Structure 1
Amino acid sequence: MSSPAGAVQLGVLVVVLAVAVGLLVVARSARGRRAPLAAEPAPDLPVATEHRPFAAVVANPTKVDDADVRLDWVRQASEDLGWAPPLWLETTREDIGAGQARAAVEAGAAVVLAYGGDGTVRAVASSLTGTGVPLGLLPAGTGNLLARNLGIGVTDLAEALRTGLSWSERKVDVGVVEFDLSGEDHTPRRETFLVMAGLGFDAEVMASVEPRLKERVGWLAYVVAGLRLMHGRRTKVTLRIDDRPPVTRRMRSVIVGNCGELTGGVRLLPDAQVDDGWLDVVVVSAGGLVGWTAVIGAVLTRSRRGHPVVEHFRCREIEIRAEAPNQVQLDGDPAGEARVMRVRLEPLALSVRVPPLS
């Protein structure tokens, strides 16, 4: 579903007020256009030569209208740019991109193109981190937040493909998060993220949206969920930030970001840069209309000071320990529950194809 810019901006304002940092969800309302195309299957396994590299495409079939047509589109673009025919790998419910990306690296792909939304991008990136094989972005989700932060157009897939098959790259930081459900787990679940990880209200909203309602009304389903949950109680958390003394807060949401720009140029994390080696943290403690109104002011003015319901921190590592398990999210996707969330960065661990001078 695509919506006019004015509607997107209004949606952002509504959700900031009603859903606080649910801005991350509303950012998922601008779907990229699909490029027009014609069909033919690619070979099972491309062969790279010294002069003709090949790309692998890890595609989310729920975001691709016609796989054969799209494959031929990538094949034709590859040929026009002097590349060998591409390798096409589709995600599954059981493997949303990590295994396919590993297979692409083993096959010798010169670049792996993630064709889907932020979840597909995150899964593919988790297998490319540290390999030296770059990630290309074919934005086909509703948020496409990494693409936005890197200046990759989200409304022109043809241009995004040309960028992915170019040789202009940028190294970015990769977030590493551990989720501990009990708070005493010696082998916590380990995940990666590229944009943001969150614990609390924002994740509750994402997890509570009814799929059928989302199909009918799109991102407004998140507003409905946020309005239903906005009066929930605050949770006591202890924050251990680098080697500083621990601090205690009563929060509605804690978001740890690697980059901070959302749709419409709104910056939830004013200082966040995808390659600066820092984590940017926002703690939201709003508990009523006055508190949510203060959140609006802090986000839209990019203020780092002011009302105590919004606090900002910068760090290399952070541990958030809650008094009880809370919903968590990664790059806008629900990720279950955790009582403890530990986050750090792997600086400049991933190369991403970007427009020249991006």
Structure 2
Amino acid sequence: MARRMGIIWNPTKTAEEALREAVDAAFAEDVEVRYWETSADDPGHAMAAEAVDAGCEIVIAVGGDGTVRTVAEVIARAGEHAPALGIVPQGTGNLLARNLGIPLGSIPKALEMIAAGGERRIDMGWTKADEESTETGFLVMVGFGLDAHMLAETDDELKDKAGWLAYVEAIGRAVSAAETVEFTISLDGGDEQTLSGHTLLVGNCGAIQGGVTLLPDAVPDDGRLDLLLVSADNVAQWAQTLRTIVWDNGIRRLLGGSDDTVSTDAAQHLTGESIEVSLPEAVAFEIDGEEAGEVSSLHVRVQPAALRVLC
């Protein structure tokens, strides 16, 4: 009996003819392939649900981080008999693909990895803001404050050319838009504590564009979430924070230095399985590198081993 495979693709990112040709070349004739096209109104929810209901053993998301995240949400909710997830990164950030070592910029190479059949069980993060009744999934990280401003301010072309230096350039513009906020936080149902900072990141993976790793201890299959609180107040502290992120917890590790994560007064690292945050006023928020409005309260949790990713 032919295996069933669903392809959910974003037509604004990929040409249909090239995609179909690459799929035909990568998979044997005993694979029954169905295609679903995303739309401006639906980035993939209904399409992924149809693929699951159709009994697809593999569902491949072809597009950017938004497409991948939407398809993954549906699969993670499908339970015990959920299909495996394949990823063909075709966006700007391609954050999960970067963290999992999935080839970027080549549909045939990404499909070749999927066809090889290797699997990795990874966690899924879920977040619910303010009075929302349903959770939104994330695969890499969510955050509020300066982080969201920085993402909005960073030039995509410069990120490709200059790597982490693009974020340094963006911080100069983002700092003027972000202010230190005082908020309460509870980890794993424990006592509330009051913290203050420009930004709080909660992540399942740590690497972003430009070779920058914001959360060096974040592993997508450890059943935990990692947090980074940035609370720099002056130029000297910003310089120290950049050094901590780029050198102490980045380049130094790559050069064979200690694997111990460095925290400072201006850049603190925490970890937990669930996080509750309450803010005095609404602040800018991002999910997997995309702006997501503003939030004043936040619940974040991890779903361990939620996805079988072909990588």
Supply the distance in 2 between the matched residues of 1:276 and 1:171 (Cα, whole angstroms).
10
Which shows bigger deviation, 123-132 or 169-178?
123-132
User: Of the candidates 279, 288, 295, which is equivalent to residue 331 of structure 1?
Assistant: 288
Asked if 1:77 is matched to 2:23, the reply is no
Deviation at 1:139, TM superposition (A): 1.0
Supply the distance in 1 between the matched residues of 2:52 and 2:102 (Cα, whole angstroms).
23
Asked if 1:111 is matched to 2:68, the reply is no
Q: Which residue number in structure 1 is paired with residue 141 of structure 2?
A: 196
Supply the distance in 2 between the matched residues of 1:329 and 1:60 (Cα, whole angstroms).
21
Asked if 1:90 is matched to 2:37, the reply is yes
Asked if 1:172 is matched to 2:136, the reply is no
Q: Does the residue aligned with 1:230 lie in a helix, a strand or coil?
A: helix
Deviation at 1:294, TM superposition (A): 1.4
Supply the distance in 2 between the matched residues of 1:91 and 1:150 (Cα, whole angstroms).
24
Percent identity, please.
35
Flag the 1:306–1:259 CA change in 2: closer, same or farther, 3 A: closer
Asked if 1:245 is matched to 2:195, the reply is no
- Any conservation in 2 of the 1:173–1:258 contact (CA below 8 Å)? yes
- Any conservation in 2 of the 1:204–1:327 contact (CA below 8 Å)? yes
- Any conservation in 1 of the 2:139–2:288 contact (CA below 8 Å)? yes
* Letter paired with 2:87: L
Which shows bigger deviation, 279-288 or 66-75?
66-75
Alignment map for 1:1-358 (pairs within 5 Å): 50=1, 52-64=2-14, 66-78=15-27, 81-131=28-78, 132-180=82-130, 185=131, 187-207=132-152, 226-231=171-176, 232-263=178-209, 265-300=211-246, 301-302=248-249, 304-354=261-311
Supply the distance in 2 between the matched residues of 1:264 and 1:204 (Cα, whole angstroms).
17
Task: Please report the TM-score for the alignment, with normalisation by the length of structure 2.
Answer: 0.86
Deviation at 1:266, TM superposition (A): 3.5
Supply the distance in 2 between the matched residues of 1:228 and 1:159 (Cα, whole angstroms).
37
Supply the distance in 2 between the matched residues of 1:269 and 1:218 (Cα, whole angstroms).
19
Supply the distance in 2 between the matched residues of 1:74 and 1:251 (Cα, whole angstroms).
47
Supply the distance in 1 between the matched residues of 2:36 and 2:189 (Cα, whole angstroms).
44
User: Structure 1 regions of 5+ residues with no counterpart?
Assistant: 1-49
Deviation at 1:153, TM superposition (A): 1.8
Supply the distance in 2 between the matched residues of 1:94 and 1:281 (Cα, whole angstroms).
32
Deviation at 1:175, TM superposition (A): 0.3
Supply the distance in 2 between the matched residues of 1:306 and 1:166 (Cα, whole angstroms).
40
Q: Does the residue aligned with 2:222 lie in a helix, a strand or coil?
A: coil
Supply the distance in 2 between the matched residues of 1:198 and 1:190 (Cα, whole angstroms).
15
Deviation at 1:155, TM superposition (A): 3.8
Q: Which residue number in structure 1 is paired with residue 256 of structure 2?
A: none
- Any conservation in 2 of the 1:55–1:165 contact (CA below 8 Å)? no
Supply the distance in 1 between the matched residues of 2:159 and 2:96 (Cα, whole angstroms).
21
User: Structure 2 regions of 5+ residues with no counterpart?
Assistant: 250-259
Q: What is the alpha-carbon root mean square deviation over aligned residues?
A: 2.3
Flag the 1:267–1:208 CA change in 2: closer, same or farther, 3 A: closer
- Any conservation in 1 of the 2:22–2:107 contact (CA below 8 Å)? no
Supply the distance in 2 between the matched residues of 1:173 and 1:242 (Cα, whole angstroms).
17
1:187-221, Cα deviation, whole Å (9 max, x unpaired): 44520001001111111333467xxx86x877799
Q: Does the residue aligned with 2:20 lie in a helix, a strand or coil?
A: helix
Flag the structure with higher strand content: 2
Which shows bigger deviation, 305-314 or 260-269?
260-269
Deviation at 1:224, TM superposition (A): 6.6
Supply the distance in 2 between the matched residues of 1:103 and 1:74 (Cα, whole angstroms).
20
Q: Does the residue aligned with 2:73 lie in a helix, a strand or coil?
A: helix
Supply the distance in 2 between the matched residues of 1:104 and 1:310 (Cα, whole angstroms).
43
Supply the distance in 2 between the matched residues of 1:189 and 1:329 (Cα, whole angstroms).
17
Q: Does the residue aligned with 1:233 lie in a helix, a strand or coil?
A: coil
* Letter paired with 1:236: E
- Any conservation in 2 of the 1:179–1:189 contact (CA below 8 Å)? no
